[in-house]
Amino acid sequence: MIRLFDIIFSFIVIVAILSWLTPIIGLLIILDSGGPVFFAQRRVGRNGRSFLCYKFRTMILNGDADRLQAARNDKRITFIGNILRKSNLDELPQFFNVFIGDMSIVGPRPHMHSDYDKFSSLVKRYEFRSMVRPGITGLAQIRGFSGPATDMESIFGRYQWDAFYVRNAGFLLDLRIMRKTMMQQLRFGFNGLTVPV
Quote the radius of gyration of the chain (alpha carbons, Å): 16
Inside any domain, residue 71:
yes
Between the alpha carbon of residue 156 and those of residues 131, 133, 161, the distances in Å are 17, 19, 9
Lowest mean pLDDT among 65-69, 80-84, 111-115, 129-133: 65-69
**pLDDT at residue 134 greater than cutoff 90:** yes
Please check whether residue 196 lies inside any domain of the structure.
no
Q: Which amino acid is at 65?
A: A
Alpha helices in 72-112 (DSSP H): 79-87, 94-100
Residues of the domain holding 10: 2-191
Residue 181 lies in a domain: yes
Q: How large is the average pLDDT for residues 25-42?
A: 96
Residue 100 falls within a domain, yes or no? yes
pLDDT tens for residues 109-125? Answer: 999 999 999 999 999 99
If pLDDT is split at 50, 70 and 90, which confidence band does 63 have? confident
What is the pLDDT at residue 56? 98
Residue 21 belongs to some domain of the structure:
yes
Residue 82 CA from chain centroid, whole number? 15
pLDDT at 40 over 80: yes
Q: What is the pLDDT of residue 96?
A: 98
pTM above 0.85, yes or no: yes
Domain count, the chain: 1
85 half-sphere exposure, CB direction, 13 A CA radius: 21
Residue 134: inside a domain: yes
User: What confidence category does residue 136 fall into, taking pLDDT thresholds of 50, 70 and 90?
Assistant: very high
Residue 128 located in a structural domain: yes
CA 100 to chain centre: 16
